[in-house]
Amino acid sequence: MRTFLHYYLQAFKNIAKHSSVFTTMVLATLLYGFFYPTAYQAQRAESIPIVIVDEEHSQLTNAIISTAAESPNIEIKKVTVNFAEAEHMLKNQQAEGILYLPSNLSTSLRRGENGGIGLYLSAAYLIRLKEAGTGLAQAIGGVASDYAAKYSQISHFKVEPSIHMVSLFNPLSGYGSYIFPAVAPLIVHQTILLGFTMLITSYRERKWKPNTTEFFANFACAVTIGSLACLYLFGFIFWLYDYPRGGNFWGMLLAVPIFIAAVSAMSMLLASFLDVPERASHLLVISSIPLFLLSGLAWPHQAMPELLQILAWMLPSTSGIHTFVQLNQMGVSTAVVLPKLLYLIGFTFISLSLAYWRLVLQTHKK
């Protein structure tokens, strides 16, 4: 035990001495935790510019325009009678949407005729598209319902009751509350994978021949740093930015070392194939976006080719991201994520065994 503790503490000292490794494994997580969520503090896009084409100039259309003006989602840039002018503004990105109020709108509602309000939205930015559409739909629905109710005795036209949607696990429907809890495990994954791979490769560059105790002491050091990074992000940072958190606290505590052990084992295995530490950054820096896309949170797995689905679930990052989103935000029981945890344990055993064979057994044979 004393020998293990010596190598364990020595691994921390080696990380502190190696500036690139220390920056990647320790400082990067601290900085990412503050700066990454800052860009999404507003949570939702507001004041989306729109133009309104009002051909009727009636009491109804004035009410719709007034209600739309009160919505925080949208900002009315111009009210015009010329649809071509509004279309020109949309094409030139001066507005994100057009609300078209035709000349026969009031008559259509009273008679229950087909046709009516037109809504044209730019799909260049999906988040802005969603907020603009939500703001306009709320303004139109409320006013149209009140207007139709006045003529309910002489018209068969009825406006269906509006549905007020509230996200179950993201009450603010905020982009930050969606993206950062999913990215946080990937941040730890990448910092440990890159930093620890660089550390082990730097050992190998100096003809490192570890014994069993030293091998597992370095592995334990990486697991410790990664676990503390997870607790820092899932605890302090989630609290600081008020993200949904704490759904299954004990399940999260169980899953953290299992996930980090899988990443650390993969790092040691990968390092056994590299000749210089810089090679790790060449291979791994470009992998963050593909790993997130393969996680299935940006684009559902069901919409991916079957081969990509298989590849995605082979990666520990996919199981880790889904596990922590389910535990932290959704509050599922540990039994629900148990298959993912068992896969990570199996992945750790296989990767660590191969790494031990290459780094310990083979080096002592030479």
Q: Decide which of 341 and 143 is more confident.
A: 341
Q: Please provide the size of the chain in residues.
A: 366
What does the CA dihedral 167, 173, 177, 183 come to, rounded to 10 degrees? 90
Q: Decide which of 339 and 286 is more confident.
A: 339
Count Cβ neighbours within 10 Å for each residue of 291-318 and write b for 16 or more, e otherwise. bbebbbbeeebeebeeeebeebbebbbb
- Map residue 20 onto helix, strand or coil: helix
DSSP-derived secondary structure for 220-240: HHHHHHHHHHHHIIIIIIHHH
pLDDT confidence of residue 155: 46
pLDDT-based confidence at residue 18 (cuts at 50, 70, 90):
confident
Beta pairing, strands 118-121 & 74-80:
unpaired
pLDDT confidence of residue 343: 95
CA distances to 30, 169, 221, 271, 357 from 196, in Å: 17, 34, 10, 8, 18
Q: Over the stretch 28-67, which tens digit does the pLDDT of each residue have?
A: 888 888 888 877 776 666 677 888 888 778 777 787 778 7
pLDDT confidence of residue 154: 44
pLDDT confidence of residue 243: 83
Percentage of the chain lying above the pLDDT 70 cut: 81
pLDDT confidence of residue 356: 92
pTM score: 0.77
- The identity of residue 309, as a single letter, is Q
- Total Cβ atoms within 10 A of residue 260: 27
Q: Is the pLDDT of residue 234 over 80?
A: yes
pLDDT confidence of residue 144: 60
Please state at what angle helix 212-231 crosses helix 2-17, rounded to 10 degrees: 60
pLDDT confidence of residue 142: 62
- Map residue 206 onto helix, strand or coil: coil
Both ends of the chain: CA-CA distance in Å?
28
pLDDT confidence of residue 66: 80
Q: Is the pLDDT of residue 358 over 70?
A: yes
- Total Cβ atoms within 10 A of residue 165: 7
Q: Over the stretch 239-296, which tens digit does the pLDDT of each residue have?
A: 888 888 878 899 999 999 999 999 999 999 999 888 787 887 777 778 888 888 888 8
Q: Over the stretch 63-98, which tens digit does the pLDDT of each residue have?
A: 777 877 777 777 788 888 888 888 888 888 788 888
Q: Is the pLDDT of residue 115 over 60?
A: no
- The identity of residue 355, as a single letter, is A
Q: Over the stretch 131-188, which tens digit does the pLDDT of each residue have?
A: 666 666 666 666 666 655 555 544 454 555 555 566 667 666 677 778 888 899 999 9
pLDDT confidence of residue 260: 96
Burial class of residue 277, CB neighbours in 10 A (0-12, 13-18, 19+): buried
pLDDT confidence of residue 278: 80
pLDDT-based confidence at residue 123 (cuts at 50, 70, 90):
low
Give the domains, in start order, of the chain with CATH numbers. Answer: 2-41+174-365 (no CATH), 48-150 (3.40.1710.10)
Q: How far apart are CA 18 and CA 218, in angstroms?
A: 14
Strand partners, 98: 51, 120
